């Protein structure tokens, strides 16, 4: 059986160039959202940030602002997921995985303020044709709970954690993480190290087997 012919070099190069341009536009949108907020994030400002010649280059990849905002949310979510998952993957105990996830999430938020601001701006402002929020903060809230709950269930199944409602515990820990993120950003500020220390201690005490 003969091997399939490879695509022409020119077509491959054009595809790579288009992907690179799309990524450039998404990155510029993230930074523009972080600096100006959702309402002032326009294709013109994104064009200027990206250093491209025309807004038509943006419209070629994204028909509407909404499509571009979808791409921003997807990219920011993937970045966070990759970073946090890598930290959790090496853990062999449920408590190790739980504390690693909390630590990694707080570190990612602290070190990526533009991405966090961009995500927040979209979730709080992007609306559908009827004027309803397309996302809301439920998007990130659900993602966090869905990531925490399997770790909690695994800890119970192994006998490492006590018995509790995993959904409620995941929501409780998620709320604590959100509170810590606010305290890192607003006075009176707490440091990343302080927040990590307090939240990992909370998780350990809340889930441990009774003596």
CA–centroid distance for 31 within its chain: 15
Residue 8: predicted pLDDT: 55
43-56: pLDDT as tens digits: 999 999 999 999 99
88-144: pLDDT as tens digits: 998 999 999 999 999 999 999 999 999 999 999 999 999 998 999 998 877 777 888
Which parts of the chain fold into alpha helices (H)?
9-36, 43-50, 56-61, 65-89, 94-111, 113-125, 138-158, 166-185, 192-207
pTM for the full model? 0.84
**pLDDT band per the 50, 70, 90 thresholds, residue 1:** very low
**pLDDT band per the 50, 70, 90 thresholds, residue 7:** low
Residue 72: predicted pLDDT: 97
Cα→Cα distances 184→23, 102, 119, 179, 193, Å: 29, 14, 17, 9, 10
154-168: pLDDT as tens digits: 999 999 999 999 999
In this model, does residue 80 exceed pLDDT 70? yes
CA–centroid distance for 109 within its chain: 9
In this model, does residue 4 exceed pLDDT 80? no
Average pLDDT, the chain: 92
Residue 139: predicted pLDDT: 73
């Amino acid at each position: 059986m003969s091997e399939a012919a490879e695509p022409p070099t020119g077509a491959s190069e054009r595809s790579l160039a288009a992907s690179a341009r799309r990524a450039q536009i998404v990155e510029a949108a993230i930074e523009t959202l972080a600096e100006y907020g959702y309402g002032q994030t326009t294709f013109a400002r994104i064009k200027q940030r990206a250093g491209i010649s025309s807004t038509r280059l943006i419209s070629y990849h994204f028909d509407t602002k909404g499509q571009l905002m979808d791409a921003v949310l997807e990219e920011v979510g993937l970045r966070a997921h990759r970073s946090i998952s890598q930290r959790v993957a090496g853990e062999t105990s449920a408590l190790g995985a739980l504390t690693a996830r909390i630590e990694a999430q707080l570190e990612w938020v602290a070190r990526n303020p533009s991405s966090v601001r961009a995500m927040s701006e979209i979730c709080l402002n992007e609306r559908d044709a009827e004027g309803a929020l397309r996302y809301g903060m439920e998007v990130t809230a659900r993602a966090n709970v869905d990531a925490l709950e399997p770790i909690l269930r695994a800890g119970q199944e192994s006998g490492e954690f006590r018995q509790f409602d995993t959904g409620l515990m995941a929501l409780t820990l998620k709320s604590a993480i959100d509170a810590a993120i606010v305290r890192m950003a607003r006075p009176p500020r707490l440091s990343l190290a302080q927040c990590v220390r307090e939240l990992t201690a909370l998780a350990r005490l809340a889930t441990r087997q009774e003596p």
